[in-house]
C-alpha cells in the first residue's frame, strides 16, 4: 500500500493512471493518497482539484464508486471555496444511492461544516433516520465551529450516547467562546463517568490546559498536569507546548521553562513559539531573543506566531532597533508576510518610545486598513508622551470602528477636559447617554483554594464582601501611612468630588482581589491575579507598595502583559 501511494504521489493526476479495469479499491487508494498529500505542506503539492480529477477519470473508465470512495473524496473539501465542488459530489452520492450510508452521511456533515454551510450540514443530519454517534459528534462540532455553543450544548444533552470525542468537542466549544469555567466544569463532570469510551485523551487535556491558561488558574493547571502524568499520557510536543503555554499564562514562567527543557530535541516550532511568547509576556525580553537565536541556530524555521512573540518582547523591553531588525528579517530572511498583529506590535514599539512619526509611517505603509488594536497602540503611545492631537485622532478612529467602545469615549472626554474643551466634553457625555453607552466594568480573578473568585469594580456580590471591605480599608490606611496618594486622574470625570474619586479608586477590581487573597491565604503566600483590562497606574503604584508592606509576591496578568510585584518593585520597571 505504501509503495502504491509513493508511486501515485510521484505522478501527475492526469498522467500514467492505472488501467481502467482496476477495481474501485485501487482508485480509492489513489484518491486517499492525494487527499492526504494535499493536507500535508510539501514542496511538490498536487493541484487542489487532484482528488476530483481522479474521481472523474475513474468514472470515465467505467469504474463505479463504492461506500469508501465518497468519504475519502469529501475530505478534500475543507474551506468555503470548495462548497460548490462538495455539492457536486453530494449529487453524485444521490445518483449512486449512498445517501443513506452512515459513513457517507457523517462525511457530508463534516464537509458542509468545513465549507461554512451549517444549513446544509443540519439538513443532512435531519434526514438521517437514526443518527449514529459519529453523526451526532459531527453536527455538534459544526455548531461549535460556528460559535453556536448553546445549540451545541443542547445537542450534547440530547445525545443518546457520548464518547471522548463528544465531551472534548463540547469543552472545546466553551473554550472557543471564552466560557472557560464551563469547560472545566464539564471536564469535572466527565471524570465522574467510569468508562473507557470517555477517558480523556491528548486533545481533551490540551483543551483543559487552554482553559486553565486563559483563566490564569495555576492550581487547576498544576492539577491537570498531574492528571496527565497519572494517566500515563506521553508528554510529547503537542501536550508539552500546551503545558508551556498554560504555565506561562498562569504566571509561572519557571514551570514553563522546566517543561520546555524536558521536551529535549523533540521541540518543533510550536513548542519554541510557546516559550518565546511566554517569555515575552513576562517581560523577559533579552532571554526571549536568546531563545529565538538558539531556535534558528538549530535549524527550526520560525513562523508568524514566533515573530509575534519576538516583536512583543521588543515592545515590552523598549528595544526599538532590535524590533526593527526582527521585523525586517521576518520579511526578507524568512519570507513571512506580516499580519496586522505584527504591524500593531511595531506601532506599539514606536509609540511607547515616543517615536510618533515612525508609528504614523508604519500605519501608512500597511497593506490593510488599521483596526482597533492599531489605533489603540497609537493612542497608548501618544497619550503616554502627551501628543494630544494624535491622541484625539486615534480616539476618534476608535469610536468610528467601535461606536459602543465606552473606554474610547471616556479617554477622549479626559483628553478634552485636560485641554479645557468643556463643550466637547459635554457633547461626548450627551452622545454616550443618547446611545446608552456604559463603561465596561473592570473584572479581576483570583484563585484561592482551587476556586476562582471574580471581582468587579465596586463589587458587593461576593458573600464575604463585608470582610473584604474591612481588609481593603486596613490596606488603604497602611498605604496612606507610607505616603500613598490616590491618582484621581485615572477616575471618570463625572465624579466631581475628590473624596468620591478616591473611593472609586480604592474599589478597583484588582484591589478587591488582592484584599480577598490577603484575607484568605497564609502570610507570605504568592498571589496570582488576572485582570481583563489594562491595570491602571494607581493600582500599579498601590500593589507595588502592598507587596512591600505585606511581604507578598503578587503576580498580575492584565490584557497586555504580566506584572511581578515584589518588595515594592514591579518587573515591568513602570514601562507597560
Instruction: Kindly write down the DSSP assignment for every residue of 69-98, as one continuous string.
Output: HHHHHHTT--SGGGHHHHHHHHHHHHHTT-
pLDDT score for 370 = 95
Statement to judge: residues 450 and 481 lie in one domain: yes
Q: How many domains does the chain have?
A: 3
pLDDT grade for 362, boundaries at 50, 70 and 90: very high
Share of the chain above pLDDT 70, in %: 90
Residue 535 falls within a domain, yes or no?
yes
CB atoms within 10 A of CB 72: 22
CATH of the domain at 374: 1.25.40.10
Statement to judge: residues 368 and 415 lie in one domain: yes
pLDDT tens track for 242-257: 999 999 999 999 999 9
* 45 vs 74: which has the higher pLDDT: 74
Name every residue whose Cβ is closer than 8 Å to that of residue 283 and which is 6 or more positions away in sequence. Answer: 316, 317, 561, 562, 564, 571, 572
Distance CA 466, CA 461 (A): 10
Q: In which region does residue 193 sit, left (phi positive, over 0), alpha (psi from -120 to 50) or beta (all else)?
A: beta
The mean-pLDDT minimum among 37-46, 155-164, 339-348, 377-386 falls in: 37-46
Across the range 435-458, mean pLDDT stands at 85
Residue owning grid cell 506601532: 347
Residue 246 falls within a domain, yes or no?
yes
pLDDT grade for 505, boundaries at 50, 70 and 90: low
Cell of 475: 490596606
pLDDT tens track for 403-440: 887 777 777 777 777 777 788 888 878 888 887 877 77
pLDDT tens track for 216-245: 999 999 999 999 999 899 999 999 999 999
Statement to judge: residues 547 and 448 lie in one domain: yes
Residue 90 falls within a domain, yes or no?
no
pLDDT score for 29 = 86
Is the distance from CB of 4 to CB of 34 less than 8 angstroms?
no
* 506 vs 249: which has the higher pLDDT: 249
Statement to judge: residues 406 and 472 lie in one domain: no
Domain boundary (390, 420, 440) is at 440
Residue 57 falls within a domain, yes or no?
no
* pLDDT > 70? residue 498: no
Statement to judge: residues 454 and 431 lie in one domain: no
Question: What is the overall mean pLDDT for the chain?
Answer: 87
- Asked whether the CA dihedral 381, 386, 387, 393 is positive or negative, the reply is positive
Statement to judge: residues 432 and 487 lie in one domain: no
Q: Find the domain containing 242 and state its range.
A: 162-267
Statement to judge: residues 421 and 459 lie in one domain: no
Nearest to 493 by CA among 420, 391, 572: 420
Distance of CA 477 to the CA centre of its chain: 39
Domain boundary (208, 234, 267) is at 267
CATH of the domain at 263: 1.25.40
The mean-pLDDT minimum among 175-184, 289-298, 493-502 falls in: 493-502
Residues 478/479/485/487 CA torsion (nearest 10 deg): -130
Is the distance from CB of 464 to CB of 521 less than 8 angstroms?
no
Is the distance from CB of 173 to CB of 186 less than 8 angstroms?
no
The DSSP secondary-structure symbol of 40 reads S
Nearest to 107 by CA among 82, 139, 80, 83: 139
Statement to judge: residues 551 and 454 lie in one domain: yes
pLDDT score for 138 = 95
Residue 316 falls within a domain, yes or no?
no
Statement to judge: residues 433 and 449 lie in one domain: no
* 66 vs 160: which has the higher pLDDT: 160
Residue 108 falls within a domain, yes or no?
no
Nearest to 362 by CA among 380, 373, 374, 353: 374
Statement to judge: residues 452 and 564 lie in one domain: yes
Statement to judge: residues 507 and 421 lie in one domain: no
pLDDT grade for 475, boundaries at 50, 70 and 90: very high
Q: Which helix (H) or strand (E) holds 411?
A: helix 406-418
Residue 495 falls within a domain, yes or no?
yes
Statement to judge: residues 484 and 537 lie in one domain: yes
* pLDDT > 90? residue 37: no
pLDDT tens track for 123-166: 999 999 899 999 999 999 999 999 999 999 999 999 999 999 99
pLDDT score for 493 = 43
Residue 527 falls within a domain, yes or no?
yes
* pLDDT > 90? residue 519: yes
pLDDT grade for 560, boundaries at 50, 70 and 90: confident
Domain boundary (249, 267, 285) is at 267
Amino acid at each position: 500500500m505504501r509503495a502504491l501511494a509513493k508511486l501515485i504521489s510521484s505522478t501527475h493526476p492526469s498522467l500514467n493512471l492505472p488501467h481502467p479495469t482496476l477495481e474501485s479499491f485501487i482508485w480509492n487508494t489513489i484518491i486517499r493518497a492525494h487527499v492526504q498529500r494535499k493536507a500535508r505542506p510539501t514542496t511538490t503539492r498536487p493541484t487542489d482539484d487532484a482528488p476530483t480529477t481522479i474521481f472523474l477519470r475513474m468514472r470515465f473508465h467505467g469504474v463505479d464508486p463504492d461506500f469508501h470512495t465518497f468519504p475519502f473524496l469529501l475530505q478534500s473539501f475543507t474551506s468555503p471555496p470548495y462548497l460548490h465542488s462538495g455539492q457536486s459530489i453530494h449529487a453524485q452520492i444521490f445518483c449512486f444511492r449512498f445517501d443513506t450510508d452512515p459513513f457517507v452521511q457523517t462525511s457530508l456533515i463534516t464537509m458542509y461544516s468545513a465549507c461554512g454551510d451549517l444549513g446544509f450540514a443540519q439538513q443532512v443530519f435531519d434526514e438521517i433516520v437514526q443518527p449514529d454517534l459519529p453523526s451526532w459528534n459531527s453536527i455538534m462540532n459544526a455548531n461549535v465551529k460556528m460559535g453556536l455553543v448553546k445549540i451545541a450544548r443542547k445537542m450534547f444533552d440530547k445525545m443518546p450516547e457520548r464518547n471522548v470525542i463528544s465531551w472534548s468537542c463540547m469543552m472545546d466549544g466553551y473554550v472557543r467562546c471564552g466560557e472557560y469555567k464551563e469547560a472545566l466544569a464539564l471536564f469535572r463532570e466527565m471524570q465522574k463517568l467510569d468508562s473507557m469510551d470517555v477517558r480523556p485523551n491528548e486533545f481533551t487535556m490540551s483543551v483543559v490546559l487552554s482553559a486553565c491558561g486563559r483563566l490564569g488558574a495555576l492550581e487547576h493547571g498544576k492539577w491537570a498536569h498531574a492528571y496527565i502524568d497519572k494517566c500515563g499520557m506521553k508528554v510529547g510536543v503537542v501536550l508539552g507546548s500546551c503545558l508551556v503555554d498554560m504555565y506561562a499564562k498562569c504566571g509561572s514562567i519557571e514551570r514553563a521553562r522546566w517543561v520546555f527543557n524536558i521536551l529535549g530535541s523533540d521541540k518543533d516550532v510550536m513548542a519554541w513559539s510557546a516559550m518565546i511568547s511566554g517569555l515575552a509576556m513576562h517581560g523577559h525580553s533579552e532571554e526571549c531573543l536568546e531563545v529565538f537565536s538558539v531556535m534558528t541556530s538549530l535549524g527550526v524555521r520560525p513562523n508568524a506566531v514566533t515573530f509575534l512573540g519576538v516583536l512583543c518582547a521588543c515592545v515590552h523591553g523598549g528595544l526599538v532597533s532590535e524590533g526593527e531588525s526582527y521585523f525586517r528579517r521576518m520579511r526578507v530572511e524568512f519570507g513571512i508576510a506580516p499580519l496586522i498583529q505584527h504591524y500593531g506590535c511595531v506601532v506599539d514599539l514606536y509609540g511607547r518610545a515616543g517615536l510618533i512619526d515612525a508609528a504614523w509611517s508604519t500605519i501608512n505603509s500597511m497593506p490593510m486598513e488599521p483596526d482597533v488594536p492599531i489605533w489603540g497602540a497609537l493612542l497608548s503611545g501618544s497619550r503616554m508622551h502627551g501628543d494630544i492631537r494624535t491622541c484625539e485622532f486615534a480616539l476618534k478612529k476608535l469610536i468610528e470602528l467601535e461606536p459602543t467602545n465606552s473606554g474610547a469615549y471616556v479617554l477622549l472626554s479626559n483628553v478634552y477636559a485636560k485641554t479645557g474643551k468643556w463643550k466637547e466634553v459635554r457633547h461626548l457625555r450627551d452622545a454616550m447617554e443618547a446611545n446608552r453607552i456604559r463603561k465596561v466594568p473592570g473584572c479581576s480573578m483570583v484563585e484561592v483554594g482551587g476556586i476562582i473568585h471574580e471581582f468587579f469594580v465596586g463589587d458587593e456580590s461576593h458573600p464575604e464582601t463585608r470582610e473584604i471591605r474591612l481588609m481593603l480599608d486596613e490596606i488603604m490606611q497602611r498605604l496612606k501611612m507610607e505616603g500613598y496618594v490616590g491618582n484621581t486622574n485615572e477616575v471618570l470625570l463625572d465624579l466631581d468630588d475628590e473624596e468620591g474619586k478616591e473611593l472609586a479608586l480604592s474599589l478597583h477590581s484588582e484591589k478587591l482581589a488582592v484584599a480577598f487573597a490577603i484575607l484568605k491565604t497564609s502570610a507570605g503566600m504568592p498571589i496570582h491575579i488576572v485582570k481583563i483590562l489594562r491595570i491602571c497606574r494607581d493600582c500599579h503604584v498601590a500593589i507595588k507598595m502592598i507587596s512591600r508592606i505585606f511581604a507578598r509576591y503578587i503576580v498580575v496578568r492584565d490584557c497586555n502583559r504580566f506584572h511581578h510585584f515584589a518588595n515594592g518593585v514591579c518587573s515591568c520597571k513602570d514601562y507597560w
